[in-house]
Structure 1
Amino acid sequence: MGLTSKTVLALAMASAVILFAATVRLWPRLARPGVAAVSGRGGLLLATQVTLLAAVGLMANNSFLFYGSWADLLGREQAPGVVTDHVAGAAASRHVVRVGTEHVPGGSRSTVGGRIDKVVVAGRRSGIRSPAYVYLPPEYFRPAYARRKFPAVVVLTGYPGTAENLLTGLQYPRTALGQVEAGRAQPMILVMLRPTVAPPRDTECVDIKGGPQTETFLSEDLPQAVSEAYRVGKRARNWGIIGNSTGGYCALKIGLHHPGRFAASAGLSAYYRAAEDLTTGDLFHGSRRARERADLLWSLDHLPQPGSSFLVTTSREGEGNYWGTRQFVGKVKAPAQVSSIVLDSGGHNFNTWRREIPSALVWMSTRLSES
């Protein structure tokens, strides 16, 4: 029986109830002194607590889909994601300030492993200032590439994640380096940040009337600032955007609505309509048009389809976006192109995304050009 099976949850809940009832019934008999009685009381309490915690944990996992299978929970689910194509039915810029540098683990020199710059990006139109990390591949520092401009990919975390998660937990720079060394991808600059540019508010990457202009920052300010500070092209074919969870929704949204800036967009475990809850506040201020535009499935049905490429990921067991992803794939029409990664099992967690990121970066590499 699978981890997310209702039968497993029912058994765990039943076990907790039975053990609780047994504890109440047997407690008077075990209320006398002696090693056996004390051991019995301790055993019943321990067993009841374990089954209760297991039931609560299973309920939480079924609600939020952190893990899709027992192998996923134990970290044994390591099969990489496979992309399926679908037929379409630093430093010199006033707006990027470098505040620190580090190397990719295992690469002691910039020409070997590349370099990671910690920067602060100031949006000239949005007025937003956001920290970010910029990964520069080793080729960026080699004489043979001195005059070359590189493609760039904006990488977004989920909410309320930190940009550091993209370096450590999801290992984007190390993975990108490995794919280039294996000859599967071209060198790309990665611009890594969280979409929570006005913390703690989750803006869902929209421009909020009288509030944070997150969409403007990500779609206009960020690419322009990075292009001024680093050797990055300024055309749409030079830029891609990828993210997980909330970042995945944002990546698809930005790519769908700004094809003149981004040629390729990838949403890992993305959802397809802006969330509206206590963390977001009032995003649309009663504007039906703004709410509809933030619904990606509505946009595909009602707005002109761009000549861009999209990648979406899900799993048959463990993800809550499976049917939404199928709808998204079905609604993309030419001239747009869509691809997908569908895992057999994988929850809404770092292990799943680490399985998808290598293939997603290779896919992104084939959609971008260096100049």
Structure 2
Amino acid sequence: MELTDPGPLIILGVLAAAFFTLVVIGWPRPRLRGLRIGIRAVEVLLLNAVVVVTAFALLNDQYVFYSSWADLLGSRSAQTQLHQGGSNRTVIASKVGAGALHQQGPTNYALPQAGSRLQTYSVLDRASGTYVPVVVYLPAGYNPASPRRYPVIVGLHGFPGTPISFLHPNAFVATADRMTSEHRLASTIFIIPTIDTPVYVDTECINGPPGQPQTDTWLARDVPAWAVQHLHVSTARTSWATMGYSYGGWCAAELALRHPSIFAAAVVFQGYFRPDFGAGYDPLTPKELLPYDLVRLARLAPPPVALWVFTTRQDTLSYPTTARFLSVARAPLDVQAVILNTGGHRASLYAPYCPAALTWLASTLPGFRA
């Protein structure tokens, strides 16, 4: 019986019902009062334990955090590394049209929280006319009065989530700090926008029909243009990359592949390559979704972008479309992939690979080289 089979849930449900019945009817009923109280306490504790385990099993059944008993027990998985498509030299040399990085506008480099590396801004979403929270994590030594320019990683959180959930419990910025101090990565600005607007709507980072969220435009036009006017960022596309996990991994891939004039690379942790909307929000028809089919894009019109991809063969959300994407990727698209043979969909699997991903980024794009 596998962990993801119906069997464990059925057994846990039966046990929960049995312990609940025992607690309600007060059975067994020994004559000694102390023993009776002790048995009742043990039954209540067991009931609570089974309910907690059942809740975990239900969540795992939906999200597949753990894909097998071996995965749950922490067994190490064998891995495969693949390279598909072209090379980083092609990505670097490719000329693409000017994007939001080259829009002109007034500048204001003052920091709202002076002296802090963690800044919070409200950035205008021009399509909706609303201001959306954006968190910025600055490199050590950043000085708003200095003309020095920095590369940018746009960090994209999962769903549901917030910009802060990209920072904690993930170790992305801590790993970047350590690698920078070791001269293995250039000092980098992390820009972490809110990607669920309105809150708790699974936008999949796309543009909906008129009147619906225009998240793709917000992330690919408004945020980069704002960054150029408020932060000392490089305007070279080879100094801009996206990074995300799960839903944010999809967004990272979507932004880089569809907007190569802004982003030259993406780091995708257990993301996917076709939109996967949650219940209650499915804004586009299949025909309207074709531009967001990254498998189709990689096959028909691959852009000059470099991707580092992490997934597992047992990840039912990430692996199916990732495998299809890898099978069709061709130059000038450049893809490096790490695929574990086993494992579910959770941070403890991809977190150890963050140094490898950032090392790849530093060796792939000149803007991130120390």
Tell me how far apart the structure 1 counterparts of residues 171 and 357 of structure 2 sit (CA, whole Å). 13
Q: Pick from 340, 345, 354: which aligns with 1:348?
A: 345
Following superposition, the deviation at residue 165 of structure 1 comes to 1.9
Q: 1:102 to 1:367 in 2, by over 3 A?
A: farther
Paired with 1:39 and 1:73, the residues of 2 have a C-alpha distance of 32
Q: Could you tell which deviates more after superposition, 12-21 or 355-364?
A: 12-21
SS in 1 for 2:121: strand
CA distance in 2, matches of 1:164, 1:116: 10
Aligned counterpart, 1:177: 177
**C-alpha distance in 1, partners of 2:36/2:141?**
70
SS at match of 1:320: coil
**Residue-pair matches, total:** 349
Quickly say closer, same or farther: Cα 1:59–1:209, change in 2 above 3 A. Answer: closer
**Equivalent position of 1:138 in the other structure:** 140
- SS in structure 2 opposite 1:122? strand
Alpha-carbon shift at residue 95 of structure 1 (Å): 8.2
Check whether the contact 2:109–2:144 (CA below 8 A) recurs between aligned residues: no
Aligned-partner Cα distance in 2 for 1:25–1:138:
60
CA distance in 2, matches of 1:176, 1:35: 58
Question: 1:207 maps to which residue?
Answer: 207
Give the match for residue 235 of structure 1: 236
Displacement of 1:218: 0.8
Is the aligned partner of 1:157 residue 2:154?
A: no
Deviation at 1:249, TM superposition (A): 1.0
**TM-score normalized by the length of structure 1:** 0.78
Corresponding position of 2:38: 39
**Who is 1:294 aligned against?**
292
Unaligned runs of 5+ in 2: 87-104
Q: CA contact under 8 A between 2:82 and 2:338: conserved in structure 1?
A: no
* Match of residue 61 from structure 2: 62
Residues 79, 341 of structure 2: 8 Å contact kept? no
Q: Is the contact between residue 125 and residue 221 of structure 1 (CA under 8 Å) also seen in structure 2?
A: no
Q: Which moved more, 1:339-348 or 1:217-226?
A: 339-348
Task: Output the amino acid matched with 2:304.
Answer: G
Task: Please name the residue that 1:111 is paired with.
Answer: none
* SS of residue matched to 2:150: coil
Q: Output one character per residue of 1:106-132: Cα deviation in whole Å (capped at 9) or x when no partner.
A: xxxxxxxxx232222224567453221
The alpha-carbon deviation at position 276 of structure 1 amounts to: 3.2
Q: Find out whether 1:244 has 2:257 as its counterpart.
A: no
Q: State the 1:340 CA deviation.
A: 1.9
- Farther-moved stretch of structure 1 (346-355 vs 186-195): 346-355
Q: CA deviation at 1:367?
A: 2.9
Distance 1:278 1:173 in 2: 32
Paired AA for residue 208 in structure 1: G
Task: Indicate whether 1:358 and 2:359 are aligned.
Answer: no
Describe the superposition over 1:341-362 as per-residue Cα deviations: whole angstroms up to 9, x where unpaired. Answer: 3345554334334323332222
Q: CA RMSD in A?
A: 3.7
Residue in 1 aligned with 2:168? 168
- CA distance in 2 between partners of 1:25 and 1:171 (Å): 46
SS in 1 for 2:260: coil
1:270 partnered with 2:283: no
Q: 1:328 to 1:88 in 2, by over 3 A?
A: same
Q: Kindly state the Cα deviation for residue 15 of structure 1 after the two structures are TM-superposed.
A: 4.7
Q: Secondary structure of the residue that 2:49 maps to in structure 1?
A: helix
Q: How much identity, in percent, do the aligned residues show?
A: 27
SS at match of 2:113: strand
| Alpha-carbon distance between aligned partners in 1 of 2:52 and 2:311, rounded to the nearest angstrom | 28
Amino acid at match of 2:207: D
Following TM superposition, by how much is the alpha carbon of 1:39 offset from its aligned partner in structure 2, in angstroms?
A: 2.7
Q: Quick check: 115-124 or 27-36, which moved more?
A: 27-36
Query: Does the CA-based 8 Å contact 2:298-2:333 persist in structure 1?
Result: no
User: Structure 1: which 5+ runs fail to align?
Assistant: 104-114
SS of 2:312's partner is strand
Q: Structure 1, residues 170-200: CA drift from partner, whole Å, max 9, x if none?
A: 2433221111122332222211123114334
Q: Secondary structure at the match of 1:370?
A: helix
Residues 229 and 49 (structure 1), Cα distance of their counterparts in 2 relative to 1, 3 Å cut? closer
